[in-house]
Structure 1
């Protein structure tokens, strides 16, 4: 089965259509899909901020530089992965979305995550973890533990931005990316 690469412009058109949803009034939301569509690893993050919206590139700035370091720990680079920054209703308080918001966005998220056929899905943060695993269990409990979602191996990890201000999360992130590298090399 062929899994087409969806160009960023097409994804942005989907976002423009979704902005008509009444749940999204006054909120920012984006869908980004960039990287290698043949990658073994799909990284599913949360919607980026305004600067990333403007640049059309996920994970820029401090969190992006840190993600590059984390990928190197796993023996990867951005050319080795596909990054899907998924649609997210994002209120000013930046709180977790309500269940009805996740349900409203699910068709867009599902389409984005099916653009490639990865061996592993790495979820960064609560939103993507809860969406992919269809669970209410948070990232604090699930990070670093290999999970299953249908035929996919899912590896939940803290979002790199969370580790910029929390040394415990930084250590956990670096350990989890080291484990990801071991998984990819068949050492675990």
Structure 2
């Protein structure tokens, strides 16, 4: 790991049509819609399953385990988080049981709208939920798909483990960093981005 200290990435305000969304039951349990965070014009989109907490019980901003592990992995991989926008399969943070399949299917319209508006150059799906939702394949798994690039709706896409899985199973960190290095290298290939020095040799190009 590096000495890089994770920070709370700036949150992008949700558009009006999403703020008032009633497409699924999460509308009845959310405190608000969380559209995404990081650089809204970033060439790389990272897709997670759903938002985590951004404030503690006293309302003070803090960096949760998912965000901390993601940023530390990116720093070790030399991936500049200034090139990254983080968003979610679900735009609401669940607080109790809900119909997961229905919520994910209905929230897909918001993700597709985001991609159409932002037109990123690369996508990385983190965790099986994000992979299955974006690939539209309920059997898709990170361990089988990682290491390669896929054309999903015209967007070059790769996959890796969810940062919380990496946090709980440190043995996954090496593979997590490898996958993020692949994204950093591909971003440089397509131009306009730089790899942040990490003191490590950069990997060969991904498939």
**TM-score, length basis structure 1:** 0.74
Aligned to 1:80: 83
On the 8 A contact 1:121/1:152 being kept in 2, the answer is yes
Q: Using the alignment, how far apart are the partners of 1:20 and 1:163 within structure 2? A: 32
Aligned to 2:14: 10
Residues 20 and 149 of structure 1: CA distance in aligned 2, closer, same or farther (over 3 Å): closer
Report SS of the residue matched to 1:50: coil
Report SS of the residue matched to 2:159: strand
Aligned to 1:133: 135
Q: Using the alignment, how far apart are the partners of 1:44 and 1:52 within structure 2? A: 21
Residues 132 and 20 of structure 1: CA distance in aligned 2, closer, same or farther (over 3 Å): closer
Aligned-residue offset at 1:68 = 1.6
Give the aligned length: 178
Q: Using the alignment, how far apart are the partners of 1:51 and 1:33 within structure 2? A: 12
Q: 2:105 aligns with which of 96, 103, 107?
A: 103
Aligned to 1:32: 35
Of structures 1 and 2, the larger Rg is shown by 2
Higher helix share: 1
Residues 40 and 31 of structure 1: CA distance in aligned 2, closer, same or farther (over 3 Å): same
Residues 181 and 74 of structure 1: CA distance in aligned 2, closer, same or farther (over 3 Å): farther
> What RMSD in Å do the two structures reach over aligned CA positions?
3.3
Report SS of the residue matched to 2:118: coil
Aligned-residue offset at 1:104 = 1.8
In structure 1, runs of 5+ residues without a counterpart are 1-6
**More deviation, 59-68/119-128:** 59-68
On the 8 A contact 1:145/1:155 being kept in 2, the answer is yes
Q: Aligned pair 1:181/2:193, yes or no?
A: no
Report SS of the residue matched to 1:148: strand
Q: 1:118 aligns with which of 117, 120, 123?
A: 120
Residues 23 and 49 of structure 1: CA distance in aligned 2, closer, same or farther (over 3 Å): closer
Aligned to 2:155: 152
Q: Using the alignment, how far apart are the partners of 1:148 and 1:46 within structure 2? A: 20
On the 8 A contact 1:30/1:86 being kept in 2, the answer is no
Q: Using the alignment, how far apart are the partners of 1:118 and 1:76 within structure 2? A: 16
